[in-house]
Amino acid sequence: MKFTGLLFGFALAVGAPLLAQQPSQNPADSTPPPATQPQAQEPPPKSPTTIRTQVNLVDVLFTVLDRRNKLVANLEKPDFRVFDDNLQQDIRYFSKQSDLPLRIGMLMDTSNSIRDRLRFEQDAANNFLFSVLRSGKDEAFVMTFDDEPEIVQTFTNDAGLLRDHILRTRAGGGTAVYDAIIEACVRELSHPPRPPGDQPDIVRRVMILISDGEDNLSLHTRSEAIEMAQRTSVVIYTISTSTQWVTLDDPSRERTGNRKYHLTDGDKILQDLAEETGGRSFFPYHVDDLDQSFQDIGEELRSQYSLAYNPANHSLDGRYHKIRIDVPDHKGFQVRARRGYYARPNETSAAKPAGAAK
């Protein structure tokens, strides 16, 4: 979101040269011709007047699921209602966006606390990339974080190169989850590679965060990490490495007897990061548990809606505004979108969102 001033200029020039007509002169005529009238003076040009006005536009990407958690891709603008702090807003722009190129940030926790689950992380990261990444269209980078974040592979569409870097990761050190999220947003996802050729300059920014969620070293807060992801239109999907909440009803049914009793504090943090940015959180026991989830993520990222509105209750007070999107005529439909935004300057764009239609 960016709050941008619109610049309008206009200039008005008044006055034009006025020349008096001169009578034709006859050499035989002794009467002297009348003196030429002086040219009218052109008034000095007025300096251009600049009018500045603050226009705020909140844009939201979202997906719609039915009762069976299947994507709904055939809705139109009149089907939706959007609320800003419970006040209904007029939808100014609306569009359906499908098959967009993905720009994926793969963030892997390599702190000492996940040492026993490092192989799980590696397998999960590689399985996701090989399931979702499309050669020639999507790109991804890999970042590891322990005491501090480190980009081990910048954006590429070479899944094999990404896999090699992922398999070379080693565990050790503390955990700086929030610093890693902010670093990934600022350094890579805020200006991802544009699509090749003449394709529209629209991409979907995605972060896959694999961690136990237990931050103990970050210089930034969770709220700051969420705000940065929202400002850069990054959707966060989290995969928990924790198995503390898993119990096996029957050890012989290792892959089917898992039950969740509770989420750890780290799991709740991962859940919050995902839900605040419009993503999802996963709490698998085995990597195989994620196979269908990865396919679902890839599908929903390429089939989304976009809307934008000018908040009627707008005020640059820095306050957090809650966003809610309803589908009133379709009971049972659920909307997955970021939950809100911070009303700060330069956060929403006054320009019409790319690909949007009134």
Mean pLDDT for the stretch of residues 226-245: 92
- In whole angstroms, what is the distance from residue 98 CA to residue 215 CA? 35
Rounded mean pLDDT, 310-319: 85
- Does residue 241 carry a pLDDT above 80? yes
* Least trusted range by pLDDT, from 145-154, 238-247, 322-331, 336-345: 238-247
- Tell me, what amino acid is at 273? L
**pLDDT surpassing 90 at residue 282:** yes
CATH 2.60.40 domain position(s) in the chain? 54-96+305-342
Average pLDDT, the chain: 82
Q: State the residue for tokens 């399931």.
A: 131
Please name the helix (run of DSSP H) or strand (run of DSSP E) that holds residue 56, with its range, or none: none
Helices (H) and strands (E) in the chain, counts: 6, 18
**SS3 state of residue 205:** strand
Of the two residues 15 and 179, the one the predictor is more confident about is: 179
Average pLDDT over residues 313-319: 82
How large a percentage of the chain has pLDDT more than 70? 75
What would the mean pLDDT of 108-128 be, rounded to a whole number? 96
33-75 tens-digit pLDDT = 555 555 555 555 555 555 444 558 899 999 999 999 899 999 9
Between strands 281-282 and 234-240, the pairing is parallel
Please give the CATH topology (third level) of the domain spanning 54-96+305-342: Immunoglobulin-like (2.60.40)
Mean pLDDT of 125-134: 94
**Pick from 21-35, 46-60, 233-247, 341-355: least confident:** 21-35
| pTM of structure | 0.78
Sheet bearing 91-98, strands edge to edge = 91-98, 303-309, 58-65, 334-337
Which three-class secondary structure state does DSSP give residue 22?
A: coil
Residue 245 clears pLDDT 60, i.e. is over it: yes
Residue 257's pLDDT is what? 46
pLDDT of residue 260: 53
Q: At what angle do helices 118-132 and 291-301 cross, to 10 degrees?
A: 40
- The answer to whether the beta carbons of residues 54 and 3 sit under 8 Å apart is yes
pLDDT of residue 180: 98
Angle of CA points 181, 185, 187, to nearest 5°: 115
CATH 3.40.50.410 domain residues, the chain: 102-301
pLDDT for 224 beyond 60: yes
> Class of 102-301 per CATH?
alpha beta
Backbone φ and ψ for 314, nearest 5 degrees, come out as: -70, 135
